[in-house]
Amino acid sequence: MASESRHVSISIDRPPSEVYEYASSPANLPEWAAGLAGSIEEIDGAWVAESPMGRISVAFAEPNEHGVLDHTVTLASGESFYNPMRVIAARSGSEVVFTVRRQPGMSNQDFARDAAAVAADLATLKRVLEGR
């Protein structure tokens, strides 16, 4: 059975390469992704963060020229969540698109709350990058 998804996006008035370079660095997550990481550190080659979900690890897709920022978040329980994310060239600047997926058993309220948290994080990403 296919899961429900919601695409949350924002336009950023910066070149796609600049947006990708900044957003693909796990070290920058606490600056723009409060919904994911309040702090993060590299431990034995893995990025480990303190988050609203507790201690997690975050693994991004290998560096690429296509703007793919897909990442897997693994909870302390071992449960993992794959999160598709892209930086796309736009007429003026970039568009960042994050696909929020409804998890099994997730209520409508929780799904909406996840999408709102992603939207807030993307708005912060925009403010950070456009403020440079």
Domains of the chain in sequence order: 5-130 (3.30.530.20)
pLDDT tens digits, one per residue of 21-44: 999 999 999 999 988 888 999 999
Burial 80-97 (b: 16+ CB within 10 A, else e): eeebbbbbeeeeebbbbb
pTM for the whole structure? 0.92
Distance CA 22, CA 112 (A): 27
Tokens of 36: 């994911």
What is the rounded distance in angstroms from the CA atom of residue 118 to the CA atom of residue 130?
18
Q: What is the pLDDT of residues 44-86, one digit of tens each?
A: 999 999 888 889 999 999 999 999 999 999 999 999 999 999 9
State the pLDDT confidence band at 1, using cuts at 50, 70 and 90. Answer: very low
